[in-house]
């Protein structure tokens, strides 16, 4: 017998009382066969393929929710980086391709579609330049499209020309969506060491080494982990780590069941389970509250980085015992606006941008969903991106930046994004200018640790 009654009852409690859910079923779709010199034809091919491949994605997700009793919060699509698909088009903007993605996503009923992306770790092609220039308008004129740009990696170093440009792109995107509190920036991620099988938005894209189509599932369970830790109050850290590991194992098994069944019903391949503890603004679903349950007075205070490192490692160990196909980002997310505990920590002053940067050295993924003053300069945004990329490059891990400079707002104000994006207090940014550094351009060379062959 695979499961006993106690396992079933425990899983039921995790779902009904501790906010256990499958955060997303994400279908990755290759668009490599959609290229065409005529951008109108290319857009039509993109729309047709997505609507054909993902026609039943939402229904299958809803059916599995009903049959298994496991909430599946989002159904999403990721596609081949559009800079690669659009490069054969004779066009100076890829906004029509973004609109094709948006229309297709709406037609099949998913929550988001990711892959309006470019990979420029070492340099640009013409398609990369057009894609990046198109990002502000694309995100301002679509609803469900998410965008990402990879500007560095451990193997390649950091493309500082791209870093400089992305600071300007973030500012332009904020300006074009100023009437919606810069919501466009919430759909834009800048990466170092991106992964090709990430099911989470806004950074998901379907990598070029991936199959024709695939199902990747992101599980989530911060509330479940916190509840489990309440039973070991007073125990040593080794016991805490063991408890997290066992809990992550159970969470991952739920995700694996959903992923395999979804792939079977959609007649596609099962890719990976992403173990990431992805919080929500809901009370009881916070990574910060896990850290405080471990023993911190407030997230961001002394001890936070150590506690987070232990949490991240234990989650990975537990998940790896539960599935042979763990991938994506797989760690503990610390997005400010999406985590009630992180929001509270910022409001009480225990958590600042610099401490968040330190925390990203030991967890997934980076400086995520952070609202900053609208008058923050493009150069400062670029420098923050460069700092976070350096963390990823040196530590051979994925790091990302999703900053939202909200026009007309400053420190002490709040911004409301709604849904899983939550709300955020505007965080302060250093007043010291990095312009000379950023304007140098060029490329930060790959570190010594890149020479692993």
CATH number of the domain to which 119 belongs:
3.20.70.20
Q: In terms of domains, do 223 and 188 share one?
A: no
Q: What integer pLDDT is reported at residue 3 of this predicted model? A: 47
In a domain, 5, yes or no: no
Q: What is the tally of structural domains in the chain?
A: 2
Q: What's the pTM?
A: 0.92
Question: Is 337's pLDDT higher than 70?
Answer: yes
Same domain membership, residue 347 and residue 259: yes
Q: Is the pLDDT of residue 94 over 90?
A: yes
Is residue 37 domain-shared with residue 163, that is, in the same domain? yes
Are 178 and 256 found together in one domain? no
pLDDT at 13 (0 to 100): 61
* Within-domain flag for 367: yes
Structure tokens at 229: 């830790």
Tell me if 37 sits within 8 A of 88, measured CB to CB: yes
Are residues 114 and 202 in contact, defined by beta-carbon separation less than 8 angstroms? Answer: yes
Nearest to 82 by CA among 57, 66, 70, 99: 99
Q: Please identify, among 157, 192, 227, the residue that sits at the C-terminal boundary of a domain.
A: 192
Sign of CA dihedral 311, 314, 315, 316: positive
Is there a single domain that holds both residue 164 and residue 245? no
Q: Domain check: are 409 and 268 in the same one?
A: yes
pLDDT computed for residue 275 by the predictor: 84
What is the bridge-based pairing of β-strands 21-29 and 213-220? antiparallel
Of 200, 227, 217, 232, nearest to 11 by C-alpha is: 227
**Phi and psi at residue 190, to the nearest 5°:** -110, 125
Strands 145-153 and 188-192: parallel
Mean pLDDT value across residues 420-429: 86
Are residues 232 and 368 located together in one domain of the fold? yes
Task: Please give the residue range of the domain that contains residue 430.
Answer: 219-438
Whole-Å CA distances, 343 to 189, 283, 304, 422, 426:
20, 11, 15, 10, 10
- 282 and 187 fall within a common domain: no
Model pLDDT for residues 17-73, shown as the tens digit of each residue: 556 778 889 999 999 999 999 999 999 999 999 999 999 999 999 999 888 888 888
Look at strands 188-192 and 157-159 and give their pairing: unpaired
Is the pLDDT at 5 greater than 50, yes or no? no
Does any domain span residue 43?
yes
Whole-number pLDDT of residue 25: 93
Residues 59 and 159 both lie in one domain: yes
Task: Say if residue 104 is in the same domain as residue 140.
Answer: yes
Query: Is pLDDT at 330 greater than 70 in this prediction?
Result: yes
Q: What is the dihedral of CA 404, 405, 410, 415, to 10 degrees?
A: -40
- The reported pLDDT for the residue numbered 18 is 58
At 154, phi and psi to the nearest 5? Answer: -65, -35
Q: Give the pLDDT band of residue 11 (cuts 50, 70, 90).
A: low
> pLDDT tens digit string along 118-157?
999 999 999 999 999 999 999 999 999 999 999 999 999 9
What's the mean per-residue pLDDT of the chain?
Answer: 90
Per-residue confidence (pLDDT) for residue 1, from 0 to 100: 39
Give strand pairing partners of 108. none
């Amino acid at each position: 017998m695979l499961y006993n009654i106690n396992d079933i009852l425990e899983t039921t409690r995790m779902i009904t009382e501790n906010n256990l859910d499958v955060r997303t079923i994400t279908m990755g779709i290759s668009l490599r066969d959609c290229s065409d010199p005529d951008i109108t034809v290319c857009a039509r091919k993109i729309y047709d393929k997505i609507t054909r491949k993902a026609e039943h994605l939402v229904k299958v997700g809803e059916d599995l929710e009903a049959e298994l009793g496991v909430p599946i919060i989002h159904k999403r699509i990721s596609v081949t980086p559009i800079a690669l698909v659009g490069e054969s088009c004779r066009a100076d903007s890829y906004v029509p391709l973004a609109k094709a993605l948006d229309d297709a996503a709406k037609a099949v009923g998913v929550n988001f579609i990711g892959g309006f992306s470019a990979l420029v770790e070492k340099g640009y092609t013409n398609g990369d330049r057009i894609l990046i220039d198109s990002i502000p308008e694309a995100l301002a004129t679509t609803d469900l499209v998410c965008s990402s740009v990879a500007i560095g990696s451990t193997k390649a170093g950091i493309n500082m020309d791209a870093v400089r440009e992305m600071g300007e792109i973030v500012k332009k995107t904020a300006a074009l969506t100023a009437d919606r509190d810069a919501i466009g920036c919430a759909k834009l991620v800048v990466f170092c060491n991106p992964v090709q099988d990430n099911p989470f938005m806004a950074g998901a894209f379907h990598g070029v080494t991936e199959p024709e189509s695939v199902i990747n599932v992101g599980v989530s369970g911060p509330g479940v982990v916190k509840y489990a830790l309440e039973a070991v109050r007073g125990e040593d850290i080794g016991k805490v780590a063991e408890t997290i590991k066992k809990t992550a194992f159970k969470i991952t098994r739920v995700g694996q069941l959903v992923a395999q069944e979804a792939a079977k019903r959609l007649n596609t391949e099962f890719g990976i389970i992403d173990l990431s503890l992805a919080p929500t603004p809901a009370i009881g679903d916070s990574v910060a509250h896990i850290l405080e349950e471990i023993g911190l007075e407030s997230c961001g205070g002394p001890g936070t980085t150590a506690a987070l490192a232990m949490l991240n490692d234990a989650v990975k160990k537990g998940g790896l015992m539960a599935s042979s196909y763990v991938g994506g980002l797989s760690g503990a997310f610390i997005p400010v606006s999406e985590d009630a505990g992180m929001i509270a920590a910022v409001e009480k002053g225990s958590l600042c941008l610099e401490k968040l940067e330190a925390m990203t050295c030991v967890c997934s993924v980076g400086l995520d969903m952070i609202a900053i003053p609208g008058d923050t300069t493009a150069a400062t945004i670029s420098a923050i991106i460069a700092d976070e990329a350096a963390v990823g490059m040196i530590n051979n891990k994925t790091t990302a930046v999703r900053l939202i400079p909200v026009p007309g707002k400053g420190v002490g104000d709040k911004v409301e994004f709604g849904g899983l994006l939550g709300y955020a207090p505007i965080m302060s940014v250093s007043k010291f200018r990095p312009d000379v550094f950023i304007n140098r351009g060029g490329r930060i060379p790959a570190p010594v640790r890149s020479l692993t062959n």
